[in-house]
Amino acid sequence: MSGRTLRPRVLVVGGGPGGYVAAIRAGQLGLETVLVEAGRPGGTCLTRGCIPSKAIIHAADLFAETSRAAAQGGHLGIRLAAPPTLDLAATMRWKDGIVDRLSNGVTALLRRAQVTVLKGWASFADAKSCTVETAEGPVKIEPEHVILATGSLPVELPSLPFGGDVLSSTEALALTELPRTLAVVGAGYIGLELGIAFAKLGVRVALVEAAERILPLYDELLTRPVLDWLHAHDVELHLQARAGGRSARGLDIETPLGDRFAIPAEKILVTVGRKPNTQGWGLETMAIEMDGRFIKVDERCATSSRNVWAIGDVTGEPMLAHRASAQGEMVAEIIAGKRRRFDPVAIPAICFTEPEIVTVGVERADENHVVGQFPFMANGRALSMEAGDSGGFVRTVAEKGSGRIVGLQAVGRHVSELASGFVALIEMGATLEDVAGMIHAHPTLGEAVHESALKALGHAIHV
Ligand SMILES: Cc1cc2nc3c(=O)[nH]c(=O)nc-3n(C[C@H](O)[C@H](O)[C@H](O)COP(=O)(O)OP(=O)(O)OC[C@H]3O[C@@H](n4cnc5c(N)ncnc54)[C@H](O)[C@@H]3O)c2cc1C
């Protein structure tokens, strides 16, 4: 293919959950499509983000549970003859196996949709002239439509450049030996998810956060059970603290009172945010208007340059895989002639912390809302799977008067799986009365949704 010029209908740059979904949908719709990806199909999400992190979190859970059974000499009547041991290299091989399986699956789906996949780095000379550096040499592409899905990259701190013992989430998810001590800079969802997983694997973890509290973007009530877990499991927490550089002892930090000291850290994981990947591929040649650091798009994900579209993390918050995929599917349909616009009522967000947090729609109620909250302590299923005592709850926020549900949140073990139900209720415009009238299966965590709606109506049964 090298030396040739391809003139497809659609060129997608980036094979993450935005780009590969756009390419598959475009292919399904009969549009001749080329997808360029420098790394592996699946992008950040599949190869160094959502999936590998959740695999490590699962392994860490299992290790913590079995360690507890061994240490407590019969937790739930389960005894282990000896404490479990961890072969982290084997855990990582298992995680890599899942990534391989999914990435190969994406390749197969792209093939089935008749998408041409080019492995290499794409760069643009202008909005419609792209060259891809492949192993076989450069390939020129002059498409009718371009979909930019180049994603995002971890933000580096000047005082702690990545490399050696200073890790981004990518390196943390590829460690093959556990450090004894780990300092995590940034207590957003990525820092907390990974910090908690490493703590469960037996690492001494310290979190350093510049804001006043963990998960500063979330409502405080939702984050409290996570804070309690950190305290109960001796995870050191330095709030309103600034990370300095690396020192002989570990990580230098400065507290709000101006005290400076080092916290022990064989490794330092920096998770202070992600930035759109806008450099090194010729964006500046494409006459595209920016919105701060992000590519500016309208409600159809169109950029200011004709027939150039942008989706996913490169277009702004929330930088989440499911938003990228939804935008990708939509843009492919628009190019194929369908009338679509990106106008979700709510985009769910989940923290796979301990316990988990799910939030959809309005999180902070005001005088226009009525709120019902139901604790997992009073839910049979939660108690029967040890998910009842973590301070978890489900909260329903509805409009006063109409009773229309505009927000649903939960914090508790295993609540991530409630997210789809939450989105469905809000997107379908359900009211408190609708939920009150539904029969929820018993015993399930979902019964807490029913009860929280009853509570908002003033007649909860189980609390
Ligand atoms: C540790 C971690 C955990 C996460 N957990 C979750 C989670 O639980 N749920 C969730 O929704 N989100 C999660 N995210 C965020 C999620 O990964 C991103 O929102 C999502 O991957 C964005 O998709 P995207 O398609 O926009 O870009 P990306 O997935 O970043 O893909 C962009 C791709 O473009 C390629 N590329 C870029 N430029 C070029 C070029 N010039 N030529 C060729 N290829 C190029 C890159 O190699 C990359 O593969 C997590 C992220 C991290 C880091």
Share of the chain above pLDDT 70, in %: 99
Q: Which amino acid is at 176?
A: T
pLDDT tens digits for range 94-137: 999 999 999 999 999 999 999 999 999 999 999 999 999 999 99
With 90 as the cut, is the pLDDT of residue 3 above it? no
Share of the chain above pLDDT 90, in %: 94
Atom 7 of ligand 1, residue of closest alpha carbon: 50
pTM above 0.85, yes or no: yes
Pocket test for ligand 1, best of 21, 44, 314 (most atoms within 8 A of CB): 44
What element of type H or E holds 207?
strand 204-209
At 360 the pLDDT is 98
At 2 the pLDDT is 58
The catalytically annotated residue of 145, 322, 442, 462 is 442
Structure tokens at 297: 């798009």
Query: Locate tokens 């979330």: which residue?
Result: 218
Environment class of 74 (CB within 10 Å of its CB; exposed 0-12, middle 13-18, buried 19+): exposed
Give 265 Cα–ligand 1 centroid separation in angstroms: 28
Pick from 224-238, 254-268, 443-457: least confident:
254-268
∠183-187-193 over CA atoms, to 5°? 85
| Whole-number Å distance between alpha carbons of 128 and 90 | 45
pLDDT tens digits for range 312-349: 999 999 999 999 999 999 999 999 999 999 999 999 99
Q: CA nearest 342: which of 354, 328, 355?
A: 328
Beta bridge partners of 250: 264
Maximum Cα–Cα distance across the chain: 72
* DSSP calls for 347-372: --EEE-SSSEEEEEE--S--TTEEEE
Q: Which amino acid is at 416?
A: S
| Whole-number Å distance between alpha carbons of 266 and 180 | 7
Atom 27 of ligand 1, residue of closest alpha carbon: 151
- Confidence band of 71 (pLDDT split at 50, 70, 90): confident
Residue 275, SS3? Answer: strand
- 83 upstream amide cis, omega within 30 of 0: no
At 1 the pLDDT is 59
**Residues composing the chain:** 463
| Whole-number Å distance between alpha carbons of 119 and 1 | 12
| Whole-number Å distance between alpha carbons of 253 and 256 | 10
Give 319 Cα–ligand 1 centroid separation in angstroms: 9
Give 206 Cα–ligand 1 centroid separation in angstroms: 27
Would you put residue 301 in left (φ > 0), alpha (ψ -120 to 50) or beta?
Answer: left
pLDDT tens digits for range 366-384: 999 999 999 999 999 999 9
With 80 as the cut, is the pLDDT of residue 80 above it? yes
Beta bridge partners of 291: 294
Do 205 and 268 meet the contact criterion of CB atoms below 8 Å apart? no
Which atom of ligand 1 is found nearest the CA of 40? 49
In this structure, the number of other CB atoms found within 10 A of the CB of residue 23 comes to 33
Q: CA nearest 370: which of 398, 392, 346?
A: 398
Pocket of ligand 1 (CB under 6 A): 13-19, 36-39, 43-45, 49-50, 53, 121-122, 149-152, 169, 190, 277, 281, 312-313, 319-322, 324
pLDDT tens digits for range 416-434: 999 999 999 999 999 999 9
Catalytic annotation present for 322: no
Which atom of ligand 1 is found nearest the CA of 274? 53
- Confidence band of 188 (pLDDT split at 50, 70, 90): very high
Q: Which amino acid is at 95?
A: K
Do 397 and 371 meet the contact criterion of CB atoms below 8 Å apart? yes
Pocket test for ligand 1, best of 11, 12, 21, 50 (most atoms within 8 A of CB): 50
pLDDT tens digits for range 29-50: 999 999 999 999 999 999 999 9
Pocket test for ligand 1, best of 13, 110, 150 (most atoms within 8 A of CB): 150
pLDDT tens digits for range 136-176: 999 999 999 999 999 999 999 999 999 999 999 999 999 99
Residue 403, SS3? Answer: coil
At 382 the pLDDT is 97
At 72 the pLDDT is 80
Give 359 Cα–ligand 1 centroid separation in angstroms: 21
pLDDT tens digits for range 388-404: 999 999 999 999 999 99
Atom 41 of ligand 1, residue of closest alpha carbon: 122
Give 152 Cα–ligand 1 centroid separation in angstroms: 6
In this structure, the number of other CB atoms found within 10 A of the CB of residue 275 comes to 16
| Whole-number Å distance between alpha carbons of 398 and 396 | 6
Give 231 Cα–ligand 1 centroid separation in angstroms: 32
**Chain-centre distance for alpha carbon 87:** 26
Give 360 Cα–ligand 1 centroid separation in angstroms: 22
Contacts of 257 (CB under 8 A, 6+ apart): none
- Give the chain's mean pLDDT: 96
Which atom of ligand 1 is found nearest the CA of 36? 43
Pocket test for ligand 1, best of 12, 45, 272 (most atoms within 8 A of CB): 45
∠305-317-452 over CA atoms, to 5°? 140
With 90 as the cut, is the pLDDT of residue 355 above it? yes
What element of type H or E holds 452?
helix 447-457
Query: Locate tokens 């277009």: which residue?
Result: 315
What is the torsional sign of CA 408, 412, 417, 418? negative
Would you put residue 272 in left (φ > 0), alpha (ψ -120 to 50) or beta?
Answer: alpha
